[in-house]
Structure 1
Amino acid sequence: MRIAVTGREGQVARALVERGRALGVEVVPLGRPALDLMAPATILPALAAAAPQVIVNAAAYTAVDKAESEPELAHAVNEAGAGAVAAAAARLGVPVVHLSTDYVFDGHIGRPHREEDAPSPVNVYGRSKLAGEAAVAAAAPDHAILRVAWVYSPVGRNFVRTMLTLAENRDVVRVVADQRGTPTSALAIADGIIAVARNLVARPGEVALRGLFHMSASGEATWADLAEAVFAESAMRGGPSARVERIGTADYPTPAARAPDTRLDCSRIAAVHGVALPPWRVSLAGVVARCLAAEEGKWRRA
């Protein structure tokens, strides 16, 4: 199987390339300038040249706080750009897998969110991603939209790597303890995407395989829980560690509002696609180990 993925330098795109090699899938990463979601004329030619059997749209505007001052840019990438990728997939006659986010919810439902729960984003980023879901669904009936959550990986900018960096120079790190979700490794997400893509290619007429799905690791955590787990895994391997001071959201004001609880119910994708991602603590251990193994066992920030 041959997959074209947008967003060449992103965590999920890089994880797809890595996991594709391990799983016997050819992954063609596409990014700027060849494919630019802000330049719609580049999208179809770049995807057509890749000759994919499936297109994965992993490219996105992900600067949650900065989006509050750049709403037009966030929507241009996450809505119009996503819709253009989906339209190109429809033109090429191949399915599209589009990545969305738990940020489409306001976090007040009191349980893990199901696909049928009404979205109500609390910030510009969440609204732009929700609009992107609608754009993809309208442009390409042959789609699977996957909402993922709290993504981290051994590379790129993410919470896990930030915590390791902070622990190099601090004994105490203040971390929010009243926002709840599910940390999910980009490598696990890549495995899930590949499984979904294989199903879409193998069973082209099966309507149940298309549509909206939640896909995150099993288990749950607050940001403070995740930080403590990162430091515990790092300390076990002789890496940097710090004590976590648990604080409230109000103690760490940000330009973008954050939802208090964006846990996702992933039972539908398990039943329909047979995809169940590992517990977040299991995936975290491997990612921390890889971070610490960089540069001859010394932690460094890439």
Structure 2
Amino acid sequence: MGVVKPNFFLVGAPRCGTTSMYAYLRSHPQIFMPETAKEPHYFAPEESLWYGKRIDDLETYLALFTGARDAVRIGEASTHYLASPSAANSIYAFNPQARILIMLRSPVDLLYSLYYHRRQTGKERHATFEQALIADTDEASRKPRYRIFGQFASQVQRYWDVFGPDAVQIILFDDLKSDVSAVYRQTLLFLDVDATFQPDFAPVNEHRTARFPLIRQMKARAPSWYRLLQKAGRQFVSSDLRQVVNAQIDQISLSDAPRPPMNPATRQQLQREFLPEMEQLSQMLNRDLTHWCRD
């Protein structure tokens, strides 16, 4: 059997329903997506975008898809590919016949959701969203970044230029929320698989907030010596026990309390910033999306 390559990519944007779509697509009998690494980010090497665990060698990356067998569609869902300046060309060089899925939502809501997700995972040290936005404009503090993930028009255009519009499907988070079954069917038709299949459309990726941010940061940014101990411990501690311990840490350090609403002044500032981008995107998609940047 030859090398198994993915032939479709869910490239982002983050916090736009990609985790739900990944779960729904993965449940389809004709589709294979790796369970162990939803977001390998092999084609997005930019550290300013992504500083989590990234697969950076081809052999390990291809090993994710060895279980694909007779799947019609083989894919992955690395949500930073959309913002990456290099990913589109790299994916095309890897598989020029690939199909591309892009999911979008209000860029203002995306940034706010992304901030709280990073707080939850311990990857954001700033105590407020406003502080994170200030740091986002500081060249010395541009990790992690925010505004780049809402620059949809240029990013969609990049994938159109590389793959052609017919190989790219745009999915709006608003549509996914209002009629998930119809959006899913359209996506299956785009991927040329059985569009009559209906998965369990249960909610995925429920929001949680950090009760103790320092614990989340320590877990995410453990020193190298601790990670070596973790690696060695895997030889002696069962995966079930490790999962129990991680679950206990999450239970202590996370809360189910809803996130607070965005400061109205901050929302208005971001709406002004992103309005020109949404006007351009509206023209590209022939659909008015400027309401994302208006009250």
Q: Do both share a fold (TM > 0.5)? A: no
Kindly name which structure, 1 or 2, has the bigger radius of gyration based on alpha carbons. 2
Bin for the TM-score computed over the shorter chain: 0.3 to 0.5
Output the TM-score relative to the length of structure 1: 0.35
Q: Which has the higher strand share?
A: 1
Output the TM-score relative to the length of structure 2: 0.36
